[in-house]
Amino acid sequence: MSDKFNDLVRLLRELFQLDQPDLDFGLYRIMHAKSGEVTQFLEKDLLPQVKKAFEQYQPADKVAIKKRLDQAVAAAESLGVDPDTNEKVLQLRAELAEGADLEAMESDVYDHLYSFFRRYYSEGDFLAKRVYKPGVYAVPYEGEEVVLHWANKDQYYIKTSEYLRDYAFRLKPDAGDAGGDPMRVHFRLVAAAEGEHGNNKAAEGKDRVFVLAPPGESGHDFLSVETVDGREELVIGFEYRPATMDDWTDEAKAQATAAAKKKPPKQKDLIDIAVKAVLATTSDAIDGWPTELAKPHTKVNGETAEYSRLQGHLNRYCARHTFDYFIHKNLGGFLRRELDFYIKNEVMHLNDVQNEDAPKVEQYLSKIKVIRTIAGKVIDFLQQLEEFQRRIWLKQKFVTRTEYLLSVAHIPQELIHSVAANASQVQEWVELFKINEIDGSELGVVAFSEPLTAEFVAANPQLVVDTRHFMGSERDALVAAATSQTRPDGILINADNHSAMRLAGPLLAGTVSLIFIDPPYNTGVDGFPYKDNYQHSSWMSMMYDRLTLGRSLLRRDGLFFSAIDFVEVSRLRLLCDEVFGPQNFLADVAWEKRYTRSNNAKRFYSLKDTLLAYRASEAVDVLREARTEKSKKNYTNPDNDPRGPWISSSYVNPATKADRPNLVYPIARPNGSQVEHPTHAWKYDPDTHRKHVEDERLYWGLDGSYEYPRLKSFLSDASDGMVPIDVWHHKDTGTTDDGGNALKAMFGREVFKNPKPPSLVRRVMKLSTVEPDDSCVVDFFAGSGTTGSAVLDSNRENDTRIQFVLVESGEHFETVLVPRIKKSAYASEWTDGRPAREGVGGGVIIKYCYCESYEDSLANLHVQRSDEMAGLIAHSSSFAEKYLLQYMLSEESRGSASLLNVRDFEDPCGYHLHVQAPGSSEGRLIEIDLIETFNWLLGLRITGIAQPTSFTAAFHRDSEGRLAIKGRIKEAPDGRWWFRTVTGTTPDGKRALIIWRKRPGGDEPEGIEQDNAVLDAWFRTQGYSTTDNEFDIVWVNGDNNLANLRQDETPDDGLSETGWKVRIIEQDFHRLMFDTSDVPGGA
């Protein structure tokens, strides 16, 4: 094959993610399973179609004609005939001039296909650059006055995982398919230090890097061999933390420059150190692995590298956590539009056909058709790949775990003894709240003791109980208590904020009164990952989709505030104008985040951040903020006016008489004389002035000696507050130092760099126009939890129940945010990690949950082709091609755990996923919280989650052969039939009952009969009415006969339906989970 053919094959293998067969994670693992089939189609079926398309021109192939011509010339010369006069030679020469150069035509097609796909693909992503001509790009424009565009606008920004997902590869990629040992190698983090947060510059030497785990006693503890799925794999352990001087080895330090030796090793140095340590290891347990790892690495382009396979994979592993990647929102549509544009501009030149005869024009058009056909098929496959990833990205994520925080004040009395006896919970109280220091020396105070007494717990109603410390019936009882209210005081979600807001959308849409966020400032050193040369466009893509989701949560009278600094403030303003509309812009508030100057800056030193403020709609007409005590002191009452304190303002207009002649008139003094200002007009027209006189609002001084009057404004008239200003001084709103000091006082040490002060959030909250007890504040860049802490303080101070929802994906969710919320709920003031004063009020109920990540979704994919589909493919080559190009991935991954395997709904407690555990580097098989996931999908406002109950039952068949319960079902702890109910209200106001049950009968006909007979009997025992409208809708997992129990009453009109409807959980679960609209709806 030609070089251009080989170049195209190499590029398509890269586009189809077949170029790295050794990688064994994520989508690479899926594509490896299909690599043989896809490669066969690519090299043996698809590209040979180019040659086949030109077969009609085979008789006129120039190569064949030239061969015949040479033979005819030789024959003429052998006969002594002049070839230039020979009729056959002249005929062949004419055919040669008209003939088609098939080899050149094929090569030209390959070259165009390569050029077209290469121009849009970069480092694993398709960039939506609309090429107009070389070096010039077109921007989509539809006649707007102003259009906002950036390089990645048509793509979803996929944030690199904070948990640094497992990386695995196979040293013998093809051995596994043949039943041999693929020699799988797994890089795993054994420790990770807390990273930089939010918008803070990383201190010198504090950037986190990958460091080989300590050698330990064996000298090679960083290596271990584990058995996975019956095969051994080599695990190489790493730590992810700032490097230290101790990480240098003597050999590496000796080879470093004098300047480098003075600082901790860089990532490149640490990779070299790790490679040498691993390859130098000799141990029977890992015999053979170092030899394979030491072999030269094969680059993506097929070339042999000058470094080892281990170093090649370490380079890739470390690099994949330093930049982002994207998923195109409509790759197929984009590439097809661009293909047409490419053909018109790069292939179809009118000058080439204007003066040609019909055969040449036909060949030319045939080449265009071939390019369009082959490219179209490649686009089909690329669209399938991208759409598959897009579907996984947009699918609603499973809730992997749900816990509750309850103040003791909300716990039923009968559970107090169990709580006091829980050693894990008591230990947490000692660590967080220092309860062991309560010695009972004060009158009436119950002293701490070991074991802890129920009296102590009951005497401290602000103690926060975490359900994570409880199991079984005790936990179920606490959850029942936590869900007995209409809504929790707060919700904490550990997930990517894009996924979290999509999941929360059905519940929160149109209910949020305030969004306050503190996103990454994109300074280049704040931990925000981006591709080279795409720093700002990556950030804009990330923000745009999240702002769009955020806007859908706001009430019509809701407010949006975002902190930002000078790096991205102009772009964020444009994005917010795009999302909220420029007419809803309120202000760009200058917040004085610090007040001392630094002379280390080369040019300007910034003392401020900006708060961009927008309203959700024109429903926010007037904004006021409460008067401060300082502003109230400006009001005095020197003349003892019975209307109370007042301030005065000048009556004189800055405008001259010539400028405002309608405001020029004489004013009567208290002594009866008249006065006019010699040069300026008054501020008010004559009618308004008369009202001021009638209301006795003019002030001429205590002795009436003022030359011109002043206008009184009374404090009593200003009860609606002050007009907000767009400069907020540090004395009124605090500084970043204040935020850090408050957090340090709470934990006794620095746990998070430069958090925003709660006083800043409190000031923003006071601008909300929504009644406090109906308010909900959302922060989807929650960081350390400042917003939640501010809301809790505000509720405690004002005796309100403003709800907060915090979203954070970082590892500090577990180590900082949740502990901070616990501490804030317990006490309002802290010193050196100790509560200075306990909180007051009715206590709190806060839900916190963890969600499946995008990486988790990919890790749980499995592909399998059914026998039926295999038969169809074997029967029809045209169907096989269409299936491969358009349907293979979605069809064969159906039933993967992360894509909803409804068969596992037989046991609601038995649905499992391999996920990255919070605060851990390892993936583990865990039980998914199906019940809570479905609640979120519905947008259910929960009014209760009952404790589960189990039953036993016996059966018999009646005289007509129908299955019936023998006697009654009996409640038993180990009963085969398990039930748990959730009640609540759907977003459209329907009263819902959700029944979850274990179906031990499975899908066997008799088993289904038994399960449904027990369901019917259980339903009757619960006292649910079968005649009235206690519920509007009932959900049950599995097919059932529950609707047959409903006894409808015919309404007066005889037409409308009454009673509750029964729906199958699995059907609605699937529909709602795969709602891939930009803003998903609920039930």
Mean pLDDT in residue range 998-1009: 94
CA-nearest of 384, 392, 389, 386 to 882 is 384
Asked if the structure places residue 375 within a domain, the reply is yes
Q: Using a pLDDT cut of 90, give the percent of the chain over it.
A: 53
State the pLDDT confidence band at 960, using cuts at 50, 70 and 90. Answer: confident
The amino acid sitting at 122 is: S
State the pLDDT confidence band at 1047, using cuts at 50, 70 and 90. Answer: low
Q: Domain tally for the chain?
A: 5
Query: Above 90 in pLDDT, residue 228?
Result: no
Asked if the structure places residue 276 within a domain, the reply is yes
Which tokens in the block code for residue 130? 């609309």
Q: What is the pLDDT of residue 795?
A: 93
Query: Above 80 in pLDDT, residue 919?
Result: no
Query: Above 60 in pLDDT, residue 904?
Result: yes
Q: List, as one string, the DSSP characters of 909-938.
A: T--EEEEEPTT-SSEEEEE--HHHHHHHHH
Among 349, 366, 384, give the residue marking a domain's end: 384
Asked if the structure places residue 98 within a domain, the reply is no
Which tokens in the block code for residue 214? 């300590």
Asked if the structure places residue 518 within a domain, the reply is yes
Same domain, 307 and 177: yes
Structure confidence by residue, pLDDT tens digits, 810-820: 788 999 999 99
Asked if the structure places residue 260 within a domain, the reply is yes
The count of other CB atoms within 10 Å of the CB of residue 287 is 10
Mean pLDDT in residue range 92-104: 67
Q: Report the alpha-carbon distance of residue 636 to residue 1052 in Å, rounded.
A: 68
Same domain, 739 and 598: yes
Same domain, 591 and 680: no
**Are 778 and 616 in contact, with CB atoms under 8 Å apart?**
no
Same domain, 639 and 773: no
Same domain, 651 and 523: no
Q: Report the alpha-carbon distance of residue 903 to residue 924 in Å, rounded.
A: 21
Q: What is the pLDDT of residue 128?
A: 65
Query: Above 60 in pLDDT, residue 204?
Result: no
DSSP code, position 899: G
Q: Report the alpha-carbon distance of residue 1059 to residue 1077 in Å, rounded.
A: 32
Q: What is the pLDDT of residue 269?
A: 94
Same domain, 668 and 691: yes
Which tokens in the block code for residue 171? 């040293």
Q: What is the pLDDT of residue 1053?
A: 47
> What sections of 748-866 are H helices per DSSP?
758-765, 786-798, 812, 818-826, 854-859
Same domain, 566 and 665: no
**Are 678 and 658 in contact, with CB atoms under 8 Å apart?**
no
The amino acid sitting at 367 is: K
Query: Above 90 in pLDDT, residue 303?
Result: no
Which tokens in the block code for residue 429? 């109280």
Same domain, 351 and 239: no
Longest dimension (CA), the chain: 140
Same domain, 221 and 251: yes
Q: Report the alpha-carbon distance of residue 453 to residue 318 in Å, rounded.
A: 51
Same domain, 313 and 187: yes
Mean pLDDT in residue range 1041-1046: 85
Q: What is the pLDDT of residue 418?
A: 96
Same domain, 211 and 315: yes
Among 384, 400, 422, give the residue marking a domain's end: 384
State the pLDDT confidence band at 356, using cuts at 50, 70 and 90. Answer: low
Q: What is the pLDDT of residue 364?
A: 76
Residue with more model confidence, 96 or 860: 860
Mean pLDDT in residue range 94-102: 63
Structure confidence by residue, pLDDT tens digits, 28-65: 777 777 777 888 888 888 878 887 777 655 445 566 77
Residue with more model confidence, 768 or 100: 768
Q: Using a pLDDT cut of 70, give the percent of the chain over it.
A: 88
What CATH number does the domain containing 525 carry?
3.40.50.150
> What sections of 628-768 are H helices per DSSP?
629-632, 686-694, 730-733, 736-747, 758-765
**Which residue has 């403030």 as its token pair?**
569
| Per-residue H/E/C for 653-682 | EEEECCCCHHHCCCEECCCCCEECCCCEEE
Q: What is the pLDDT of residue 616?
A: 96
Alpha-carbon distances of 522 from 128, 153, 528, 806, rounded to whole Å:
22, 17, 6, 21
Asked if the structure places residue 873 within a domain, the reply is no
Mean pLDDT in residue range 563-569: 93
Alpha-carbon distances of 1007 from 914, 955, 964, 1004, 1019, rounded to whole Å:
30, 11, 13, 5, 18
Q: What is the pLDDT of residue 849?
A: 97
**Are 323 and 97 in contact, with CB atoms under 8 Å apart?**
no
Which tokens in the block code for residue 624? 């006021």
| Per-residue H/E/C for 252-265 | HHHHCCHHHHCCCC
Least confident segment among 191-200, 209-218, 548-557, 667-676: 191-200
Asked if the structure places residue 318 within a domain, the reply is yes
Same domain, 736 and 818: yes
Q: What is the pLDDT of residue 390?
A: 92
Q: Report the alpha-carbon distance of residue 48 to residue 31 in Å, rounded.
A: 22
Least confident segment among 303-312, 323-332, 601-610: 323-332
> What is the pTM for the complete model shown?
0.85
**Are 848 and 494 in contact, with CB atoms under 8 Å apart?**
yes
DSSP code, position 1: -
- Helix, coil or strand: residue 552: helix
Q: What is the pLDDT of residue 198?
A: 41
CA-nearest of 746, 812, 801, 813 to 777 is 801
Which tokens in the block code for residue 53? 């398309």
| Angle value at C-alpha 815, between 521 and 780, nearest 5 degrees | 40
Which tokens in the block code for residue 973? 């702890």
CA-nearest of 394, 182, 384, 392 to 859 is 392
Among 718, 753, 775, give the residue marking a domain's end: 718
Structure confidence by residue, pLDDT tens digits, 456-513: 999 999 999 999 999 999 999 999 999 987 789 999 999 999 999 999 999 999 999 9
Mean per-residue pLDDT of the chain: 86
**Are 463 and 472 in contact, with CB atoms under 8 Å apart?**
no
CA-nearest of 1066, 938, 914 to 999 is 1066
Q: Report the alpha-carbon distance of residue 765 to residue 792 in Å, rounded.
A: 12
Asked if the structure places residue 253 within a domain, the reply is yes
CA-nearest of 914, 853, 863 to 890 is 863
Q: Which domain holds residue 1014?
A: 929-1073
Which tokens in the block code for residue 355? 């003066």
